Amino acid sequence: MNKTTCAACDCELGSGAISVKLGGKTVEVCCQECAEALKEAETAKTAATGKD
C-alpha cells in the first residue's frame, strides 16, 4: 500500500485531500488550513524574489 502525505505537515492524506497549485506544480494537502499556509508561503517567496 502506497501512503501519501500532506505537502505542508506530513500527515497522511485521506479521501478529502485538497490539490494546490504552486509554482507550476500541483501538490496535495490534508486540509484547508494547510492549503492556505502553502499559498501564503508561495506568495511570500514570490514577493521576496521578485519573480512571478
Q: What is the pLDDT along the chain (52 residues), one digit of tens a residue?
A: 567 999 999 999 999 999 999 989 999 999 999 999 999 999 998 888 876 6
pTM above 0.85, yes or no: no
> Is the separation of the CB atoms in 17 and 34 below 8 Å?
no
Distance CA 24, CA 3 (A): 24
C-alpha cell at 22: 504552486
Helix (H) or strand (E) holding 22: strand 18-22
In DSSP terms, 26 is beta-bridged to 21
Sheet strands (E) in the chain: 18-22, 25-29
Residue 31: the pLDDT is 96
C-alpha cell at 4: 501519501
